[in-house]
Structures are given as structure tokens and as C-alpha cells.
Amino acid sequence: MGEKHNKNTNLVKDIIIGMSDGLTVPFALTAGLSGVLNTNHLIIVSGLAEITAGCISMGLGGFLAGQSEVEHYDSELQREYHEVESVPEQELREVEDIFMAMGVEKTLSKQVALQVSKDKNHWVDLMMKLELMLEKPEKNRAAISAATIAISYLVGGFIPLFPYIVTLNSKTGFIFSCIVTILALVGFGYYKSKMTDRPLLKGTVKVAITGIVAAAAAFLLAKAVS
């Protein structure tokens, strides 16, 4: 049985992007506000406003990034088609060089290059993957990326905010928010490390500490200036 590879790399990447900011930014905001406010109402309103703005901003960023990825791929694809038609000899040599760099003998590399060049689509596809290291973006990549990032941000953002909704004062809300969010950061850090093949303990601790430091800094700053 061969090795298992993650086929949803872009999806995982977008979840990580959205969840990372979704957990950290609202956690820092609500922690900072709880340092100067006794009522939960303004914290909840501010938190909801931040989550809304964050979802739109992060989602739009994901859409533009996904769109740029598609446009870049299409541009390079057109350029490769133009090159195999206008300078086929040069492109054949590039195919030979690619296979020789992989350890294939020169004679065999020429034979493979000639075989590949009989089908223009296969030829261009090979150049895109092996010369430019570009994979064809998923269908509706920009929209899927935007939705995934925005939803991940929304889910992450509600975790530190929810305790303030169900408690009576900011002090209690802050305590429960810290507990819930730190647990979420640990869980997310573990997931992120596992999905990106990083050391589990190191990656988990790093994510948790990042969120804790951001919240602590916001809380202390709010206290200092109040």
C-alpha cells in the first residue's frame, strides 16, 4: 500500500488561515475590552463587529488570492501553448533537460520528448507541471477559498466571544473565554501541526502561546491606558 497524501491541501490551508486569525484577533479584542469594561454588552457588540469585518476582509483576501492563482495559471498556460507552436525545438530541448535532470539517459530523454511532443496538450501539461511546477487550480477556486476562510474565521471568532454572551459580567466572561479559547488554540495547534506534518508538541504549543500572548498584551494595554 502506497503512502497517503493529503488531496485537500488548499482546503486545509484556507481553514488554517481563517481559523488562526479567527481565534487570535477576537480573543485579543475581547480580552482587551474586558480589562476596561464591566458590562458584556459592549464587548459582545464590538466582538460581533470585528468578526463581521474580519470575515469580509479575510474572505475577500482569499477570493482575490484564489483569482490571482487562476489568472496566473491561465497566463502561463497560454504562454506555453504559444512557445510549443512558435519555438518547438527549444521546448523539446527543455523537455529533454527536465528528464536528464531526473537521471534519465540523454538518448532516452530525446525519445520521451519526441513521444510527448506528439500530443500538444500532454506536452504543455508536462511543461506546466515539471518546468513551472504549476498545478491546475480547482474549479471555482477563488469562491471556495473565500467561503472557507470566511467560515473558518467566523467559527474561530465565536469561540472567545461566546462566553461573554452566556455570562453576566465581563470578569466571568473573561475567565471562561480564556479557558475555552486556550483549549481551542491547543486543539487547533494540534490539527494544524498534524495537517502540515510539523512536530505535534512544538506546533501545538506555538499556536497556543501566540494566542495567549496576543490576548495578554491587549488586556494589559487596555488596563494601562484606562
> 106: part of which helix (H) or strand (E)?
helix 106-116
Residues 146-203 have pLDDT tens digits of: 999 999 999 999 999 999 999 988 889 999 999 999 999 999 999 888 888 888 888 8
Which residue bears the cell 502506497?
2
Query: Is the per-residue pLDDT at 55 higher than 90?
Result: yes
Question: At 223, is the secondary structure helix, strand, or coil?
Answer: helix
Residues 72-103 have pLDDT tens digits of: 999 999 999 999 999 989 999 999 999 999 99
DSSP string, 42-103: HHHHHHHHHHHHHHHHHHHHHHHHHHHHHHHHHHHHHHHHHHHHH-HHHHHHHHHHHHHHTT
Q: Is 23 within 8 Å of 188 (Cβ atoms)?
A: yes
Q: Terminal CA-to-CA distance of the chain, rounded, Å?
A: 62
